[in-house]
């Protein structure tokens, strides 16, 4: 019994310490963002790795999510004779929830894991320690551009995902299901509000970008410098990002929409 209590206490303390380290780490990195004003090329390179290379999976997923939403929504709405509202259903689901959330989940799998692995391997091969020896601050040089790139890329990716999803739904709705294209758009425009729906979705995806980037770079920076440690850190990045994004999404939805 005491042994069990001790294990519980130790693991609680360990996770609290990790949380504290990660917050300190975030504050330090945020303080190092001014380096990027002098070296924008660092940011551009990371935007390429994190944003551009994630684009394909985001675009393909967006189109398919939109098409499936259109099919499933149609089967339900047609029972009520409300199939003309398909555009509203798809647009609201995508702008409010699915766009930011699914993009963040895919982002964690595609970009977050590679960030963690890259930084973890830099640590394991002592590149980060080498930088410090040369009086180069790895937090400014390596971490800050990656974090900012994640923060900037995710909203852009989410916007592209949402738009392609709606276009996919339009395609399925008009070509396969025979919905009138005009009422698809006009009902959508009447019901979707820029300030309430699209802007709130964007705010969500900025926060998800911060969380996904933060978890990814911290896990890489904090991992055990062994091959086992890097692999665990990569897994932890994906799992933690997914859980945190889903939990945060619930809180944000509860705060944003009434």
Partner 1 sequence: MNNPRSIEMAVGAFVAAGLAALFVLAMQVSNITAFQRTEGYTVVGYFQNVGGLRERAPVRLSGVQIGRVSAIRLDQQRLEARVEVTIDAAYDDLPSDTAASIRTSGLLGEQYVSLEPGGMPDALGQGDEFMLTQSALVLEDIVGQFLYEQSGGGGSD
Interacting residues with partner 1 (CB under 8 A): 41, 44-45, 47-48, 51-52, 55, 91, 95, 153, 155-157, 159-160, 162-164, 166, 185, 188-190, 192-195, 197-198, 202
| Alpha-carbon distance values, 190 to 83, 88, 166, 186 (Å) | 16, 9, 15, 6
* 116/153 with CB nearer partner 1: 153
CB of 190 to partner 1, least distance (A): 6
Smallest distance, Å, CB 79 to partner 1? 16
Q: Judged by CB, which is closer to partner 1: 122, or 202?
A: 202
Structure tokens at 45: 């390179």
Distances (CA, A) of 194 to 2, 100, 169: 57, 15, 20
For 133, how many CA atoms within 13 A lie in the half-sphere containing its CB? 5
Nearer to partner 1, 145 or 219 (CB): 145
Contact 104, 116 (CB under 8 A): no
The separation between the first and the last C-alpha atoms of the chain, rounded to the nearest angstrom, is 47
Distance of closest approach, residue 155 Cβ to partner 1, in angstroms: 7
Of 156 and 244, CB closest to partner 1: 156
Minimum distance from residue 184 beta carbon to partner 1 (Å): 11
């Amino acid at each position: 019994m005491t042994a069990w209590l001790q294990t519980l206490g130790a693991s609680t303390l360990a996770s609290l310490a990790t949380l504290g380290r990660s917050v300190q780490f975030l504050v330090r990195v945020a303080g190092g963002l001014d380096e990027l004003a002098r070296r924008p090329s660092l940011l551009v390179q990371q935007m390429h790795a994190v944003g551009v290379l994630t684009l394909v999976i985001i675009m393909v997923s967006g189109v398919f999510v939109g098409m499936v939403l259109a099919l499933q929504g149609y089967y339900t709405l047609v029972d009520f004779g409300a199939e003309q509202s398909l555009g509203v259903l798809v647009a609201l689901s995508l702008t409010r929830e699915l766009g930011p959330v699914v993009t963040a989940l895919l982002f964690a799998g595609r970009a977050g894991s590679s960030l963690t692995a890259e930084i973890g391997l830099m640590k394991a091969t002592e590149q980060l320690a080498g930088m410090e020896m040369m009086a180069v601050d790895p937090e400014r040089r390596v971490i800050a551009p990656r974090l900012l790139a994640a923060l900037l890329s995710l909203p852009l990716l989410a916007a592209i995902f949402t738009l392609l999803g709606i276009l996919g739904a339009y395609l399925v709705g008009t070509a396969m299901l025979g919905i009138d294209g005009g009422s698809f758009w006009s009902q959508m425009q009447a019901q979707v509000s820029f300030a309430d729906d699209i802007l709130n979705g964007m705010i969500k995806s900025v926060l998800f970008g911060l969380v996904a980037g933060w978890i990814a770079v911290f896990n890489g920076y904090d991992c055990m410098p062994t091959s086992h440690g890097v692999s665990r850190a990569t897994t932890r990045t994906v799992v933690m990002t997914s859980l945190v994004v889903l939990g945060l999404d619930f809180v944000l939805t509860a705060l944003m929409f009434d």
